[in-house]
Structure 1
Amino acid sequence: MPTAPKLLRSRGTWIVLAATLVCLAMVLYAWRLPPFHTGTESTENAYVRGMVTIVAPKVDGYVAEVAVQDYMAVTAGQVLVRLDDRIYRQRLDQAQSALAAQEANLANTMQARLARQAAIGNSQAQVAGADAQLVNARAQLTRAQADFRRATPLAQDGSLSQRERDQTEAALHQAEAAVKLAEASVRQARAGQSVATQDLQSVVVNRRAVEAAVESSRAAVRLAEIDLENTQIRAPRDGHVGEVGVKLGQYVTPGTQLVAVVPQQVWVVANFKEAQTARMAPGQVAHLNVDALGGARLNGRVERISPATGSEFSVIKQDNATGNFTKIPQRLSVRIAVDPDQAPASRLRPGMSVVVSVDTRSGHAVAPRGDGTEVGLR
Structure 2
Amino acid sequence: MTEDGRPVERDTDPNDAARLDDPVETQTGPGAASAAPVAEAEVPRRGWAPPRGGRGATLGFIALAVIGVLLILYAWRLPPFTSAIEATENAYVRGQTTIIAPQVNGYVAQVLVQDFDTVRAGQVIARIDDRIYRQRVEQAIAARAGQIATLANAAQSQRSSEATLGGQGAAVLNARAQLQRAQADMGRVDDLVKEGSVSLRERDQTLAALRQAEAAVLQAQAQRSVAAEQVRTVQVGRGGLKAAVSGGDAAVRLAQIDLANTVIRAPQDGRLGEVGVRLGQYVTAGTQLTTLVPPKVWVSANFKEAQTALIRPGQRATVRIDALGGAELRGTVERLSPAAGSEFSVIRPDNATGNFVKVAQRITVRIALDPRDPMHQRLSPGMSVEARVDTASRR
**Normalised-by-shorter TM-score class:** 0.7 to 0.9
**2:125 corresponds to which residue?**
80
* Alignment counterpart, residue 328 of structure 2, candidates 297, 304, 315: 297
2:317 is paired with a residue whose SS is: strand
Summarize the alignment of residues 89-168 of structure 1 with structure 2, pairs less than 5 Å apart: 89-150=134-195, 152=196
- CA–CA distance in structure 2, aligned partners of residues 54 and 85 of structure 1: 22
**2:365 corresponds to which residue?**
334
Deviations 1:160-191 (A, max 9, x none): xxxxx57x656544433432342343233223
* Larger relative strand fraction: 1
1:97 is paired with a residue whose SS is: helix
Summarize the alignment of residues 9-28 of structure 1 with structure 2, pairs less than 5 Å apart: none
* Alignment counterpart, residue 190 of structure 1, candidates 214, 221, 225: 221
The number of residues matched between the two structures is 345
- CA–CA distance in structure 2, aligned partners of residues 317 and 195 of structure 1: 72
Q: In structure 2, what residue type is equivalent to 1:314?
A: S
Question: Following TM superposition, by how much is the alpha carbon of 1:134 offset from its aligned partner in structure 2, in angstroms?
Answer: 1.6
User: Would you say 1:52 and 2:120 are equivalent positions?
Assistant: no
Q: In structure 2, what residue type is equivalent to 1:340?
A: P
Note closer, same or farther for the CA distance 1:283–1:210 as it changes in structure 2 (3 Å cut): same
Summarize the alignment of residues 218-367 of structure 1 with structure 2, pairs less than 5 Å apart: 218-318=249-349, 328-363=359-394
Deviations 1:93-137 (A, max 9, x none): 111111111111111111111111111111111111121122112
For structure 2, the residue ranges without an aligned partner over 5 or more in a row are 1-50
- CA–CA distance in structure 1, aligned partners of residues 62 and 53 of structure 2: 17
- CA–CA distance in structure 2, aligned partners of residues 330 and 186 of structure 1: 93
1:246 is paired with a residue whose SS is: coil
- TM-score normalized by structure 1? 0.80
Note closer, same or farther for the CA distance 1:45–1:121 as it changes in structure 2 (3 Å cut): same
* Alignment counterpart, residue 111 of structure 2, candidates 57, 60, 66: 66
Question: Following TM superposition, by how much is the alpha carbon of 1:307 offset from its aligned partner in structure 2, in angstroms?
Answer: 3.3
Note closer, same or farther for the CA distance 1:358–1:137 as it changes in structure 2 (3 Å cut): same
Q: In structure 2, what residue type is equivalent to 1:243?
A: E
User: Would you say 1:213 and 2:244 are equivalent positions?
Assistant: yes
1:280 is paired with a residue whose SS is: coil
- CA–CA distance in structure 2, aligned partners of residues 118 and 327 of structure 1: 89
Q: CA RMSD in A?
A: 3.1
For structure 1, the residue ranges without an aligned partner over 5 or more in a row are 153-164, 365-378
Compare 180-189 and 194-203 and name the one that shifted more. 180-189
Q: In structure 1, what residue type is equivalent to 2:308?
A: T
- CA–CA distance in structure 1, aligned partners of residues 93 and 358 of structure 2: 29
2:337 is paired with a residue whose SS is: strand
Q: In structure 2, what residue type is equivalent to 1:264?
A: P
2:382 is paired with a residue whose SS is: coil
- CA–CA distance in structure 2, aligned partners of residues 194 and 328 of structure 1: 85
Question: Following TM superposition, by how much is the alpha carbon of 1:37 offset from its aligned partner in structure 2, in angstroms?
Answer: 3.7
Q: In structure 1, what residue type is equivalent to 2:121?
A: A
**2:11 corresponds to which residue?**
none
Compare 188-197 and 49-58 and name the one that shifted more. 188-197
Question: Following TM superposition, by how much is the alpha carbon of 1:363 offset from its aligned partner in structure 2, in angstroms?
Answer: 4.0
- CA–CA distance in structure 2, aligned partners of residues 191 and 330 of structure 1: 85
Q: In structure 2, what residue type is equivalent to 1:123?
A: Q
**2:18 corresponds to which residue?**
none
Q: In structure 1, what residue type is equivalent to 2:175?
A: A
Percent identical across equivalent pairs?
54
- CA–CA distance in structure 1, aligned partners of residues 331 and 186 of structure 2: 111
Deviations 1:45-89 (A, max 9, x none): 211000111122222222122222222222223322222222222
* Structure showing greater Rg: 2
- CA–CA distance in structure 2, aligned partners of residues 318 and 180 of structure 1: 95
Q: In structure 2, what residue type is equivalent to 1:202?
A: T
Note closer, same or farther for the CA distance 1:27–1:177 as it changes in structure 2 (3 Å cut): closer
Note closer, same or farther for the CA distance 1:186–1:316 as it changes in structure 2 (3 Å cut): closer
2:329 is paired with a residue whose SS is: strand
Deviations 1:238-293 (A, max 9, x none): 21121111112222222211221111111101122333333322221111111222
- CA–CA distance in structure 2, aligned partners of residues 351 and 259 of structure 1: 17
Q: In structure 2, what residue type is equivalent to 1:140?
A: D
